[in-house]
Amino acid sequence: MVPALLSPPDAEKTPGYWNKGARRRLELALALQPAAQRAKNIILFMGDGMGLSTVSAARIYKGQLAGGSGEESVLAMETFPHVALAKVSGAVCPTALARAPPTSVGSRWTPSCTGPGWQVWGSRKRKSVGIVTTTRVQHASPGAAYAHSASRGWYADTNMPKEALRDGCKDIAWQLVHNTDINVILGGGRMYMTPRWTPDPEYPEDADQNGTRKDGRDLIAEWLNAKQGARYVWDKKGLDAVEDDSVSHLMGRSITAYPSIVEMTEKAIRILRRNPNGFFLFVEDEIDHGHHSGRAKQALMEAVMLDRAVARAGELTSPADTLTVVTADHSHVFTFGGSTPRGNSIFGLAPKKAKDKRAYTSILYGNGPGYSIRDGTRPAASLPDYRQQAAVPLETETHSGEDVVVLAQGPMAHLFHGVQEQHYIAHAMAYAACLEPYATEPGCRLAVAPGSPLAPALEALG
């Protein structure tokens, strides 16, 4: 990784500080060589809603959390040597990241009822596979990893129309445990896995948390019975108690007493990396929810936590055999500015007042619930219930359409360059790890671990 170029604030006032920093970065760039070997492991980090402005603001917030001015900070993901921009595909971003071309706006997935997503790559190559998310594992982005559905909302059979059930379509929770072999599943969504009225282990007195399935199936029990060495946990205490070498399959997460995305990512990697053929891991953080509610602090804290997970993954793996990619499915109408001075709180006020003589925060939204007019004017930024302002009143803030960043390190990371269509990301990852449809490309024999059952077959292919 590129080292962070940090220095006391006074040093930043001298030309030598900036010249020295530029020279060091130039030397690093000149020394950079493409890692042309194939990847044994792939980790895809997706910040849901993590646009470029969110990345920049999270960098400052990270630095200020550490006691600095903020601007001097460097995110772990920003140390990756290869960068690209990806065009977003509106409401179908998970489909694009799952290697499919963009489908019609308004439907997350192609309108077929069954069939695995890109997580099947790992199982066909005998790699271990895993999903880590801070939202429901049946949610749009993780769901695209293993399910095909005409609607992103078909979490359980309860959420499906009668016509779809009659035609043999399966809900997303069912597909999670039946479509392909996923070794680690850490996220929310318990209620979609158990029969209707089944009490939740964490909230047994709350009927709203009960199971919802009409078919009476306990998908958690089915998954446990079908997997040797499988464990199910529902809180941080249970996750911490799992010995890395004692399980081959792990499912779980709670709602309140839950482990952080850093802890879930670490546990997933420690289990998955035991496979000599390697692994594929998808990690998602829901930055999206904070932005939709117009709460920038929530969104930026999630972005910082995702970056901590990226850093921890880097400590547990090696760029010599692991391709790590960080990207987003889309951005938000979120921005910050106002000519604020260096070191100004990322959640603070702009230095000058607006034409109405009132202050405003440097963070603003293009639309959303932060729009407010009181007594014919904007509310004072000092009010306890003040939110970052939005220009257009909406119940929930919207996504935006600009490109998102793609950062990569490890084998074949140089394939991530320029401006690409979003589904190119999945194709580049597949090529890097000799996964379909690139499994027989030159050099792919070298990606198979010694003693793998696939070795003789690939050897025969030449």
* Catalytic center residues: 89
167 a known binding residue? no
Parallel, antiparallel, or unpaired for β 128-136 and 279-285?
Answer: parallel
**Residue 38 · residue 431 · CB < 8 Å:** no
User: CA-CA distances (angstroms) from residue 108 to 126, 185, 306?
Assistant: 28, 21, 24
284 a known binding residue? yes
Dist. CA 337–CA 339, nearest whole Å: 6
Residue 177, C-beta contacts closer than 8 angstroms, at least 6 positions apart:
193, 219, 222, 223, 226
200 a known binding residue? no
Peptide bond into 3 cis (omega under 30): no
Q: What is the CB-side half-sphere exposure of residue 448 using CA atoms within 13 A?
A: 21
Dist. CA 55–CA 189, nearest whole Å: 28
Burial grade of 112 (CB within 10 A; 0-12, 13-18, 19 or more): exposed
**Residue 89 · residue 95 · CB < 8 Å:** yes
SS3 call for 454: coil
Main-chain dihedrals φ then ψ at residue 349, nearest 5 degrees: -90, 150
Task: Name residue 273's amino acid.
Answer: R
48 a known binding residue? yes
Peptide bond into 15 cis (omega under 30): no
**Residue 206 · residue 200 · CB < 8 Å:** yes
Q: What is the CB-side half-sphere exposure of residue 81 using CA atoms within 13 A?
A: 23
SS3 call for 381: coil
399 a known binding residue? yes
Dihedral angle sign, alpha carbons of residues 272, 34, 56, 428: negative
139 a known binding residue? yes
Return binding residues: 48, 139, 141, 284, 288, 292, 329-330, 399
Return binding residues for Mg(2+): 48, 139, 141, 284
Return binding residues for Zn(2+): 48, 288, 292, 329-330, 399
